[in-house]
Structure 1
Amino acid sequence: MLLHQAANPLTAARAGLQLAMESIGRWVDLAADRRLMLLDDLGEVLEDIDRTTELLRAVREHGTTRGAAPAGRPERFDAVRVIRSCLTLERRLLRDRGIDLDFTTALEAKYLKGDPNALFDLLVNLVRNAAEAGGEAPSPVLVQLDLKGRELELTVRGRGSAANLEKLRGVAETTFGGTVTVESALATGTKFTIALPLPPQREAEHRT
């Protein structure tokens, strides 16, 4: 049921985005370079929607997003883009429950080596853990992505608990050589911190 609730708005969003791109393409009073820049940005959003739709399809068919890609050697992928794609989906789902999701980062592109679907799964679980208030009034889920030395540090804050923590730690450690730590306090809730070591970044990729 939850997957269908997510897929239907994504389908509608994709259709609306395509119409917007067609309209922008016909704007003769918009500078050509500006029009191309807008279309390029919207094209990236369209790709994120397609990726999320494919991941949801894999969950329905295989029970895990790992079914969306064949097993093989680890691939190099833009972690920031995967995180944004995941949070786009989760923000919509949480909004339907009256919960805000705020994401802050100054990073544009940082590349990891491993399974992008595993990172997607990991973040989905942490966000949903953070959102479970256990009967309390809904409170925002806060997500922040930073570069700390040679690691990506992703923090997720909310009122939820650390459910399935060992499983999530196993994914971070086995797939990315990273760590997941948890801090809990009655007054401030739960803070999850994911630290993922970065491989050497190619010159063309190195943007912050």
Structure 2
Amino acid sequence: MRRTHSLRTRLAFGYGLFFAAVLVLMSAGVYWLVRQALLTEVSQELAAAAELIQQDFAASAGPLPGFFSDPDVLLKSLPPRLTELDTPAFYVQVSDLDDQFSIGSASLRGQQLPRTPEDQTAAMGGSTTTRIFPLGRGRVIQLSAPLLAGGAVVGVLQVAQSLRPVDQTLQVLLEGLAITGLIALVAAVRGGVWIVSRSLGPVNEITSTARQIFQAADLARRVPAASAADEIGALADTINAMLERLESLFTAQRRFVADVSHELRTPLTAMRGHLELLQRGVVRDAEDQAEMTADLLREVNRLTRMANDLLLLAQAEVGLQLRCAPVALDDLVLEVVRELRPLGEGVAMRPQLAEQVAISGDRDRIKQALINLVANAIQHSPVDGTVTVALDQDGESAYLRVRDEGQGIAPEDLSHVFERFYRADRARAQRTGGAGLGLAIVQWVAHAHGGEVLVESALGSGAAFIIRLPLSREQETEDRG
């Protein structure tokens, strides 16, 4: 079974690791800087002591020949400053160039300071070398320098100093850094846990509320909004927006099911009544039977149209692909007006075509949308009214405008006219057989082509529906040319 850790634990652990790494790096940096400073200080002291010895030796030795082969002569030539520098932690050693003879300070206690070929080469070249090595129970830092007499290099001077004080200081520093670092790490981890707990408090509330919403299936409830405008606040706002969307979708689904049931119940009830009368033989007159048969056929056609519209909208929701090709909208307008003119008993049909307009789109879907608008305008136009179907363009988009002279749409209904099964005048819809799906299809067709559909209306002034569709590239080129 996989072990799980809370987000708070993982964040606190990660914060602790990061802080520990920073502490280690900072401590290492401090330790290195202090060590370098101490070693530099000791090196400077050695260099100063070596310079004094060199000066005194050069002044006292003079051009004495063979003083390295005669210990008495060498001891007389060594400056008295060696006695002043002869402390337990300070070492001085003088040797000839061949390293065959050497004499050192009493602090060496019979030991010799090591001399490498690099030290000899550097001394003969007039430069110095510095290195650290173990001596006795500790470490020493040694500086090797040329020993001059009469302007010539006659030997090698080595001065060294014990690093025990430096090592002791560094040990105390290391222990102090470890103790303070541990205290700081514990404090930082505890503080990090506290900060993470406070920061994740709203997340826990969101999780608890979301779980309650899921268990109770209460989409009307919302998660608590965070007071700060941070990521958690954005998360709460996003979840609330999602809940609002889900609530609206479920509400629309319930309304959709109820509307479909209602729309199906009415024609099915009428059809059942007619069929029962025919089955019982109540209607014997041939003319009445023909009328009932016509009513049944009309209801069947109505149900067929509704089923086709519902199927189209369902396919649109799952991504129905358009069959795009060049479409001459001016020819399409004339075709729709010609086909629907017989439906407008007493209603005049007036096309207005300013120019030829072509787009790239699905001709059948655009025609279906235009038929829905024109048929809707005919149904809402009074006798002797006029339905105007206009086409124009502005260089970027084409506009199909369908205007009627009916009663218009109330302001409270304008925002709902494109909803499925929504009908501002249900009585008229029942008479005309409308199911309230036509405008929803019009809106989908417009959006599927990258356009939109707009409505302009006021009570008593009729209504105008405008479909805006992007022009094809060829049409744009011709207009700009």
Q: TM-score, normalised by structure 1?
A: 0.56
Give the aligned partner of residue 378 of structure 2: 131
- Give the Cα separation in 2 of the matches to 1:86 and 1:100: 14
What is the CA distance between 1:63 and its match in structure 2?
5.4
Name the CA shift for 1:98/1:75 in 2 (closer, same or farther; >3 Å).
same
Name the CA shift for 1:128/1:72 in 2 (closer, same or farther; >3 Å).
closer
- Give the Cα separation in 1 of the matches to 2:396 and 2:354: 16
Give the aligned partner of residue 107 of structure 1: 355
The answer on 1:84 being equivalent to 2:334 is yes
- Give the Cα separation in 2 of the matches to 1:153 and 1:107: 12
Give the aligned partner of residue 186 of structure 1: 459
- Give the Cα separation in 2 of the matches to 1:146 and 1:203: 13
Deviation string 1:121-168 (CA, Å, 9 cap, x unpaired) is: 01100011111228x545211111111231111111112665543331
Name the CA shift for 1:197/1:98 in 2 (closer, same or farther; >3 Å).
same
Give the aligned partner of residue 471 of structure 2: 198
Superposition RMSD in Å: 3.1
Asked which structure has the greater CA Rg, the reply is 2
| Contact 2:346–2:383 (Cα < 8 Å) also in 1 | no
Name the CA shift for 1:154/1:199 in 2 (closer, same or farther; >3 Å).
same
The answer on 1:156 being equivalent to 2:429 is no
Deviation string 1:52-104 (CA, Å, 9 cap, x unpaired) is: xxxxxxx99x958x9xxxx775222222212211111112332xx11111111
Deviation string 1:35-64 (CA, Å, 9 cap, x unpaired) is: xxxxxxxxxxxxxxxxxxxxxxxx99x958
What is the CA distance between 1:115 and its match in structure 2?
1.0
Q: Which blocks of at least 5 consecutive residues in structure 2 are unaligned?
A: 1-303, 313-320, 410-416, 418-435
Name the CA shift for 1:115/1:100 in 2 (closer, same or farther; >3 Å).
same
- Give the Cα separation in 2 of the matches to 1:201 and 1:188: 38
| Contact 1:100–1:141 (Cα < 8 Å) also in 2 | yes
| Contact 1:106–1:146 (Cα < 8 Å) also in 2 | yes
3-state SS, counterpart of residue 463 of structure 2? strand
What is the CA distance between 1:187 and its match in structure 2?
2.2
The answer on 1:170 being equivalent to 2:434 is no
Is the helix fraction higher in 1 or 2?
2
- Give the Cα separation in 2 of the matches to 1:203 and 1:180: 21
Letter in 2 for 1:172: A
3-state SS, counterpart of residue 103 of structure 1? strand
What is the CA distance between 1:204 and its match in structure 2?
10
| Contact 1:168–1:180 (Cα < 8 Å) also in 2 | yes
Give the aligned partner of residue 366 of structure 2: 119
| Contact 1:143–1:154 (Cα < 8 Å) also in 2 | yes
- Give the Cα separation in 2 of the matches to 1:184 and 1:133: 13
- Give the Cα separation in 2 of the matches to 1:185 and 1:130: 15
Give the aligned partner of residue 387 of structure 2: 141
Superposed structure 1 runs of 4+ greater than 3 Å apart? 160-164, 202-206
| Contact 2:324–2:363 (Cα < 8 Å) also in 1 | no
3-state SS, counterpart of residue 201 of structure 1? helix
Aligned length: 137
Letter in 2 for 1:100: A
- Give the Cα separation in 2 of the matches to 1:204 and 1:183: 31
Q: Which blocks of at least 5 consecutive residues in structure 1 are unaligned?
A: 1-58
- Give the Cα separation in 1 of the matches to 2:453 and 2:323: 23
The correspondence for 1:74, drawn from 321, 324, 332, is 324
| Contact 1:102–1:141 (Cα < 8 Å) also in 2 | yes
| Contact 1:133–1:139 (Cα < 8 Å) also in 2 | no
- Give the Cα separation in 2 of the matches to 1:107 and 1:122: 21
3-state SS, counterpart of residue 473 of structure 2? coil
- Give the Cα separation in 1 of the matches to 2:379 and 2:444: 22
| Contact 1:99–1:138 (Cα < 8 Å) also in 2 | yes
| Contact 2:395–2:471 (Cα < 8 Å) also in 1 | no
